[in-house]
Amino acid sequence: MSRPASLSALPRIAAAAHTTGEYDYQLRVVCADPSELEAVVQRLKEDHGVREPRSRLILREVELDPTRFPEV
């Protein structure tokens, strides 16, 4: 199974992006509490070979003007 397909099969993964730089993927994980996040991280490590997970919490979304890039 490819990595993107295996990621989409995981519960709580809302979005994923393949990135450049130090890490291969950035995941958006939706969890109700810290223990749920811990379970997702543990599963990523055990079942998907994640070695060095890094977490950031989104405090709030920042709305931007969608017309900033009319050519896209």
Residue 53 pLDDT level (bands cut at 50, 70, 90): very high
Half-sphere exposure of 34 (CA within 13 A, CB side): 1
d(C-alpha 24, C-alpha 21), whole Å: 7
> pLDDT for 1-46, tens place per residue?
356 678 878 889 999 999 999 888 999 999 999 999 999 999 999 9
d(C-alpha 66, C-alpha 40), whole Å: 32
